[in-house]
Structure 1
Amino acid sequence: MFDIAILGQVALGYSPFIDRSRNVTATRLTIFSLRPELALDAAELLHAVAGVWPAGGARVSLNVTSESLLRDLLGSGLPTNVMVEVPAFMAADEANVESIRRLHRDGIQLLIKGRPLTELPREILPCFKYSIIDVVDDRRLADPRPVPAGVTRSISHVQSGVRSVGAMDESFKRGAVAVLGWPFDDLSGQAASTRSTIHPDLQVIVELINQVDHEEPIERLEQTLKRDPSLAFKLMRYINSAAFGFQVEIGSFRHAIMLLGYQRLKRWLALLLATASKDADMQPVMFAAVRRGMLMEELTRATSDEAMRNEIFICGVFSLLDCMFRQPFDVLLKSLPVSERISQALLEQSGPYQPFLELVKAIESESRTDYLEAADGLLMSVTEINRAVLRSLGTAIQLG
């Protein structure tokens, strides 16, 4: 599905759109050209995007850094779930006016990025649903006073470059309708609280992970699971999702164990633990954790070592537990059985899984330089990496 030439010519990154309720409403896909002199095919890009975000499906915003590719994209037919970010200097260019107006008429959401150096054509401004303003460029940071009554912005804005819960809160106070970024830099476990390591509501999951790790009898696992019916429901929902690809519906926990086996079951319990928080501010963290696990597994898809793929999946999912539980990993991992390779990556930033985790972080940061450096360290081609990115994003969407 992703045997497409353009995936060898670009570097991909992604981040979430987060609304005021802290829900992730869309994914931003950033596309960096690796060779500016090479003409990129907009149709190939849209074909790759459609493999993850088909028409009528989840929403994606395309942040294309190549001016020529973006100009061709503006001239293409787009499904309405695909949004396009347009730099202000291109919006001010008369050569792009008709394409922008046509997309607007077709119901495509357009976002203007940055401040125009010249006045925009009058007919263009209404074509943009939102403006994207980076935190460091937001002139209102220097004037925290509330906007006077009766004064409104002509276009609602999305705040980009948000890296902490505090920055997210401030952005919404300044009137942002959404933020772009990963707001968990200030949730590090290094500033741990004194509360218990794992919240009591999650102890059933931790107990199950330990029981599965010891391959205890199914009857024991079933008894533990019965203590938390909501957990049992969520686990069965995961297992019956399209991501598993089972041809028959799994009707019981016992049936699931028989089909999955203990080690594959452990990885999905790890996913449950990483997505069990009821704290709204944790929604972006959980979004990232799922995708980290999926992406790290996809990056090792070529290996025949299933045990390694299961481990590296858990490593990715667990890599943000310190943010979720505000505890350092040396405390958290006393309660959770993990392999030495996972422990090395999370505790020591070393070992065979660490380079994969660094690549995932580079992709999340939407940094072309970090992406290429991490790719070189793993001796992986950009084609392999980009295919893994798209497959993992598609699988995460299937989980729901």
Structure 2
Amino acid sequence: MYFVGTGMTTPASMDALESAANTSRVYVGRQPIFDRRRQVVAYELLFRSGEDNRASFSDGNRATATVLGNTFMELGSEVVTGGLPAFVNITRDFVLEEFVHLFPPDQLVVEILEDALVDDLLLDRIQGLRDAGFRIALDDFVLSEENRALLKHADFVKLDVADLGLEGLKAHVEAVRVSGAKILAEKVETPEDVEKCLDLGFDLFQGYALSRPVVVKGRRPAENRFALLDLMAVAADPEIELEELERCVSKDLGLTYRLLRYINSAAFGLRVRVDSIRHALNLLGRRLIQTWINLVVISEALGEGSELLTTAMVRARMSKTVAECWKIDNPDACFTAGLLSVIDEVMAQPMEEILDRLPLAPDVDRALRSREGPIGDLLETVVLWDRGRWEEVLEKDIDIDLCSRAYLEAIHWAGTLIEHQDEGENDE
């Protein structure tokens, strides 16, 4: 199981998650890592933005998110590495924010970059990764007083053959060997480099002399709407443990990103920043977070900018606003009913079949199936209003001014939320 940690999510990493979530074609570069018998024992995975076998990026967080997302969420690690361990450059931000915990520790080797600031916070997070079962590699390691403390946390130390030279390699091999870490020679460019590193006692080898990187490519799979429906069922289950709910959401990078972005929008009106799924659960509570999971799932199924998504948002907001004025118990349930009133169109399935798969609260279920009960009466009014069926609206004994104000406010609210999504910003 993979979990989002409780570390804070910075705007940089939110942008990186968005990049990983929104690209239709996916690419990953890979270069094999060999043992002393010249057997492939792992791969280093490299950022690639296209079939051109070159790394071109300016944002390390985005490159990290893209490599991880494309490997584990899109193409699949079996396709990319054949089940062998994947060495991936991980930025300091990603280590501190604990997004690495989204991924399987038995398949991912965390490469700490040579330019990462080494302090107690980083060392604490690295130890947490090791405690969770991740292995740690130090990339392009050049020993100094500032980074010496990393050695006791390292499972692998990568030494740049081209940069260090023979004497530098000898000194580093001697220093690293004491730590017990395996020593990996990278940028092994010639047969002479291979022989030199074998003689020096290196354990692992990587470079053009052995194999050049290749690009693994594919397309993001088409949206599986029934998988999204299953997630809605999990979210609606009143018996689910919070840890299981967190796991179900957190294993999808795109869903995690969109949920956090929605909750941190100005339309949500929170005074504090929600920085992780765990934080959201603790701050908002099960009922409210489940409601917002439904909203994000509909957004995932339809795609942002869909008119049907706007309809769902407007109905949800109007339902809650009117419910509060009508003193209906549990306005959040009314929000859910309004939101799900379009679910049959979203999933292109009969409402009854969809509801059979969703363990909704009985009053919400009745409202959606047959417009029965207080929530059903409210939902019928909201749907009629949204469709402009004024003659039927006027037959009801309702406050027209109240509904008009609630509808206009709902349109503004939905517009604010969608505008926030389009901008890709996180308002405080």
Higher relative CO (Cα under 8 Å, sequence separation at least 6) belongs to 1
Q: Higher helix share goes to which structure? A: 2
Q: Return the index of the structure with the highest Cα Rg.
A: 2
Normalising by the residue count of structure 1, what TM-score does the alignment of the two structures yield?
0.45
